[in-house]
Amino acid sequence: MIRKILRWSGIVLGIIAVLLLIAYGVIYGITAQRINKTYEVAVRSIDIPADSATISHGAHLFAIKGCGDCHGANLAGKVFLDDPMIGRLVGANLTSGEGGVPDWFSDKDWLRAMRHGIDHEGKSLLLMPSYEYARLDDKDMAALIAFCKAQPPVNSALPPAHIGPMGRILTAFDQMPLLPAEKVDHGYQQPAQVVKEVTAEYGKYLAMSCTGCHYPDLKGGKSPIPGQPPVANITASGHIGKWSVEEFVNTLRTGTTPEGKQLKNEEMPWKMTAAYTTDELKALYLYLKSI
């Protein structure tokens, strides 16, 4: 009897193992197809001036968009996630040093990466949040690129990126934003310049940088980063609905909320929001309170 049970449970376990292998094989195939898909997009050229006012505006944008979190403050790139199950994710070296962007990297290549999330071979970049930058107006985009191009070369050869089995499973079920090219509206026509005043409209433009984590409706939910705590609701129906503009500005500058919660910079990047100007934070507040 016992031998019979053991034999049957062995067969059942064997069948389950085979089914799991087949399921992973399917997931592997589907994600490989998505990762290797090539996109044909028309990259619109824009003027990229190199004057000091443009470059210092670009430096401000680089800070408030959190580029340094993945590319390093000196733009030399870094491994920002290395997990045997999820994978190794590597922010590129954006300088012209060794391991950085090649000599032939043109303004079109910058624009294709920033506005479409696509590399020079036509494939999606991996985990570069281009969908948060794709709608930046021409003036801001030109300033960001001008700033990056003006930085001194840093030699930094980084290990190649690698997607682990859990990374593939999460990607297959759209639980990880691995492929920005899938999320960008490639036909979007960016304005030359939006009006930068303390208005809810300008706040909406700035809040594009919050949508990657707080979701497009800004109501938060499950974290897009595997293993991280849930993301807060930052609309009027969340805590922000009860905060004054001073409390809001103070929270995003110090990381401490009026309820006394200390936000962790690794989860909610308040060191990035601390770099916003007061007018930018006020505009964000007006917009978030309006939704």
Q: Which residues bind ligand HEC (CB under 6 A)?
A: 65-67, 69-71, 89-92, 94, 101, 110, 113-114, 119, 125-129, 133, 144, 148, 161, 209-210, 212-214, 223, 229, 231-232, 234, 238-240, 251, 257, 261, 263, 267-269, 273, 284
Q: CB of residue 67 vs ligand HEC: minimum separation in angstroms?
A: 3
Q: CB of residue 25 vs ligand HEC: minimum separation in angstroms?
A: 24
Q: CB of residue 102 vs ligand HEC: minimum separation in angstroms?
A: 8
Cβ proximity to ligand HEC, 40 vs 121, nearer residue: 121
Cβ proximity to ligand HEC, 34 vs 239, nearer residue: 239
Closest CA to 207 of 263, 115, 281: 281
Angle at 280 between CA 277 and CA 284, to 5 degrees: 140
Q: CB of residue 53 vs ligand HEC: minimum separation in angstroms?
A: 18
Cβ proximity to ligand HEC, 48 vs 231, nearer residue: 231
Please state the separation of Cα 207 from the chain's center in Å.
13
Closest CA to 167 of 249, 90, 277, 66: 90
Cβ proximity to ligand HEC, 24 vs 226, nearer residue: 226
Cβ proximity to ligand HEC, 74 vs 223, nearer residue: 223
Cβ proximity to ligand HEC, 144 vs 194, nearer residue: 144
- Phi/psi of residue 153, nearest 5 degrees: -65, 140
CB 195 within 8 A of CB 276: no
Q: CB of residue 8 vs ligand HEC: minimum separation in angstroms?
A: 47
Q: CB of residue 189 vs ligand HEC: minimum separation in angstroms?
A: 20
